[in-house]
Structure 1
């Protein structure tokens, strides 16, 4: 009898431990506890809604443009997972047609004009171990040149703002307006 109770007790402990580990592995992480908080910007352009989902890093005393975010290198346009844009109807983004769908949004900053990149691959982490993006260029559906401008205020946290003319990426001392129709 004592042997049966021992076996039953050990079995229950193993079952509980396995169940706990299984639960821990399937529970999605709480993104609100990350240093770079999740954020969303959304707006209407005609009958279509554009939504931008991103993680908002902070400057934290660092020089962003040309250092934290290097020039001439594709960047995920946020932190953590690659930034996504979703539209429920066809739009014209930076002068080019974009069909309805969900896309990753990247930029390649330079000291002058920047390239905005809309890519059909979604759901990936934004960067690889070496620091380069997870973007696969063969999945690009739109690339366009856009001119950044100096911001009138300092933006500690990266923010996307949807305006009547499109959307604006704002961070540190820079704003990148992207036209949308």
Structure 2
């Protein structure tokens, strides 16, 4: 009887130990399979930052810079009337450290996805509550914190790489190809 109990106990211990060894073998991965973080500066549309301090408020814009590369941009590559991520890769982010007014309209402090809807005669600049997203693929209009209308201008000199600048005066300028738009932060 003791022998049967001993064998039953030994079998039970082997059964309990077997999944542990098997699990350890299947979850071990060689160090060579770990990918290093992507160097975003090597992308075709590299990252860029525009920042300013407007009346004690920090303004920070993080975006990626696509290039014209001989293409027709607004109205073709970026269609009129469609939401654009306002750059390339991840959606552009717009951060303000304090409550501000954008072209006279209130925007609370925070970080926003900066989208736009290009138009031939008018653009809509959008500050969306969902800041971290890829492109505009999951853009949700219900998450808009603010929309402002601006008039585009034709640039005297074409700009090859999409560029955003922010001045301490509060003027934010976006330029690409032969088009420029701007808004003010106060």
With normalisation by structure 2, the TM-score equals 0.82
Q: SS of the residue aligned with 1:112?
A: coil
CA distances 1:38-72 after superposition (whole Å, capped 9, x unpaired): 00000011010101000000000000010011000
- How many angstroms apart in 1 are the aligned matches of 2:32 and 2:183? 47
- How many angstroms apart in 1 are the aligned matches of 2:93 and 2:37? 19
| Consecutive aligned runs of 4 or more in structure 1 exceeding 4 Å deviation | none
With normalisation by structure 1, the TM-score equals 0.84
Gaps of 5+ in 1: 1-10, 129-133
Q: After TM superposition, give the deviation of residue 122 of structure 1 in Å.
A: 1.6
Q: SS of the residue aligned with 2:115?
A: strand
Q: Please tell me whether residue 157 in structure 1 is matched to residue 154 in structure 2.
A: no
Q: After TM superposition, give the deviation of residue 165 of structure 1 in Å.
A: 3.9
Match in the other structure for 1:175: 180
- How many angstroms apart in 1 are the aligned matches of 2:103 and 2:126? 10
Count of residue pairs the alignment pairs up:
161
Q: After TM superposition, give the deviation of residue 135 of structure 1 in Å.
A: 1.1
Q: After TM superposition, give the deviation of residue 16 of structure 1 in Å.
A: 5.8
Q: CA RMSD in A?
A: 1.7
- How many angstroms apart in 1 are the aligned matches of 2:56 and 2:68? 36
Q: After TM superposition, give the deviation of residue 15 of structure 1 in Å.
A: 4.7
Match in the other structure for 1:120: 129
Match in the other structure for 1:135: 139
Correspondence list, 1:32-181, <5 A? 32-128=41-137, 134-163=138-167, 164-181=169-186
Gaps of 5+ in 2: 1-23
